Chains A and B, each alone.
Chain A
C-alpha cells in the first residue's frame, strides 16, 4: 500500500497518483491495482498506467467523480499484494551495424568506451517498461546503466528510421515509426513495435522488461522478412513464474 491521491482530470478522466519516484515497487503496485480495475470497470473505460500514475479515461459517457473516487479507493484497499501480473521479459534483437547506428562511433567516444563495450553494456541489462506513449508503440524504459548516460544530440534529426535504437539522458528505446528525433542512434531492431496486422498491435505491456540481443546483419535481414510475413515471434520469458 502506498499513499495515493485521486483527482479529476477534466470532464473525461480521473488521475490516480502514487509517490513521485521511478521505483519498481510503485510500478508493480499500480499494475496489480490495474488488473483489479480491468475486472471491475466496463470496457468503455481506458486505463493508462505510467511510472507513478494511472489515468482512467471515459470518453464516451459522463461519470460522477465523487462516486467513482469512493469506489476507486475501496478497490485499492482491497487489492491483494501477491497478485500475479503476467509480465514478460522480451528479448529484442538489435543490429548494431554502423549503417543502422550512425551515432554509434561518436557515442562510444563520448562515453570513453569502445563500440564493443557499448554493445555489451547495452545488451547486458533488463530495462523495465515504465510507460507506453508519445507515439504508438513507444516504450519508456528505465534501468539504463549509468555508464551509458549521454546527452541527446544538439540538433535533432528530421528523420529517424523506424526501429532505430537510441540513447539519450537516462533513457534508451526504440523509435516505433519513422519520425524526427534527437536521440543518439546506435542500432536498429527488426521487430515492429506497433503492427496493425496483428490482433494485438503492440505486444509489450507496461511492467514488462526488455533485453536487447545483438544480431548480425544477415540475421537482421532474415528477421525483417519473417516479421513482414508474420511468422516472427519475439522471444519471451515469463517474469512472474
Chain B
C-alpha cells in the first residue's frame, strides 16, 4: 500500500483513459500528459497504459508500506526520497517505510509517479482514471491508501532515460479543425501569427486562452469533440478541450492539437505563452 500523508493540491489516479463510452457522453480522462506516463511506464517495464499518480502543481507526501520500484516523470517538482533529491525518468528502488515528498514546482505543471506493475485502483468502465460522477472521488485524499503489488527483485533494462524535454516548448503542433475553413483568412492567419496565454480557467476539462479572436456568428449542429479540440465561442474565446472534456459540443472546432501538443499544453499553467503551428 501507498499511504497518502498529504494529498497535495490535486493528485489523481490516471491511466490510458476510458475509450468505449464516448457515444454515451463519457469523456476519455486518463493522464493529461500521455508522453510522461508512457515514458515512466516504459522505464518500469509496465504496460504503457498502467495506472500512475498525476500530481498537479503541489505534490503529495507519501509513505511506501511495501518495497517496490518507482519512476517519476512530467513536471519537475523537487521530489525527495527520504529527503534525498531524486530525478525524473530514473528508476529508484524503495523500501518499506520510505517517504516520497515534493517541494517547489520548478518546471511544468503536472508530475507523474509510476510504480512497478502500476497502481491497483477501482476500475470503472475499463479505466482506473478518476472522474466524477463515474468515480466517487475526484482526487486522492489525505490518509487514503492506494494499492500496488510489492516487488523486490526488478532489474530494469534501463535505469535512466535521457529524453528531449518538452517542458520549455511553447509550440503546439495542430491539425486544422473541421470548421477551420469557415473563418476568414485574416482570422485563420491570426491563429498562427499571434501567441496566446493560458488563462486562470484551466483544468483537466479544458484550457481557456486569454487573448480573444473576433466574435463570430458561425453556427453548427452539436457534433463530437476530442481531447485537444480547440473551440471558438461566439464571443471569440478559444477553449482547448482536455482529457476530461465534454464528448460533444456546438462551438466551431477551429483547430485540433496533436497528441504531443496535448502533453505540452498539459504542462502549462495560467500566464504561460503558447503558439499554434501546423506540421507542414
Contact = CB atoms under 8 A, between A and B. Distances in A.
Given A11-B259, A48-B23, A133 B246 contact: yes
B258 A134 contact: no
Nearest to A206: B23
A133 B19 contact: no
A178 interface: yes
B25 A136 contact: yes
B206 to A, nearest CB: 13
Given A48-B22, A49-B23, A57-B226, A20 B248 contact: no
Interface stretch (B35-43, B101-109, B144-152, B217-225): B217-225
B125 A196 contact: yes
B28 interface: yes
A57 B175 contact: no
Interface in B183-221: 220-221
A116 to B, nearest CB: 32
Contacts of B248: 48, 50, 131-134, 140
Given A133-B246, A196-B125, A10 B256 contact: yes
B21 A15 contact: no
Contacts of A150: none
A153 B264 CA distance: 38
A123 interface: no
Contacts of A137: 24-25
A51 B172 CA distance: 31
A12 B257 CA distance: 10
Contacts of A55: 223-224
B224 A140 contact: no
Contact of B257 (A8, A10, A136, A194): A10
Contact of B221 (A12, A51, A136): A51
Interface residues of B, number: 34
Given A9-B178, A9-B256, A136 B21 contact: yes
A10, A21, A202 pick with most chain B CB within 10 angstroms: A10
B224 A13 contact: yes
Contacts of A12: 226, 259
A222 interface: no
Given A13-B224, A50-B223, A53-B223, A138 B134 contact: no
Contacts of B133: 136, 177-178, 194
B11 interface: no
Quick one: which of B24, B28, B178 has the most chain A CB within 10 A?
A: B24
A135 B246 contact: yes
Interface string A208-228: 000000000000000000000
A178 B258 CA distance: 32
A44 B126 CA distance: 13
Given A133-B247, A134-B25, A134-B247, A46 B20 contact: yes
A53 B220 CA distance: 11
B255 to A, nearest CB: 9
A57 B224 contact: yes
Contacts of A17: 178, 223
A107 interface: no
A12 B228 CA distance: 11
A53 B258 contact: no
B222 to A, nearest CB: 5
Contacts of B124: 196
B25 A202 contact: yes
Given A201-B21, A201-B24, 10 more contacts: A9-B175, A9-B256, A10-B228, A11-B258, A11-B259, A15-B224, A55-B223, A130-B222, A133-B222, A138-B25
25 contacts: A9-B253, A10-B175, A10-B229, A13-B226, A15-B223, A44-B19, A46-B20, A46-B23, A47-B23, A50-B221, A50-B222, A51-B223, A53-B223, A55-B223, A59-B19, A132-B25, A133-B222, A133-B248, A134-B246, A134-B247, A135-B246, A194-B25, A196-B125, A201-B125, A202-B24
Interface of B: 17, 19-26, 28, 124-125, 133-134, 175, 177-178, 220-224, 226, 228-229, 246-249, 253, 256-259
Top 6 A-B pairs ranked by shortest CB distance?
Answer: A133-B248, A55-B224, A10-B256, A51-B221, A202-B24, A48-B224
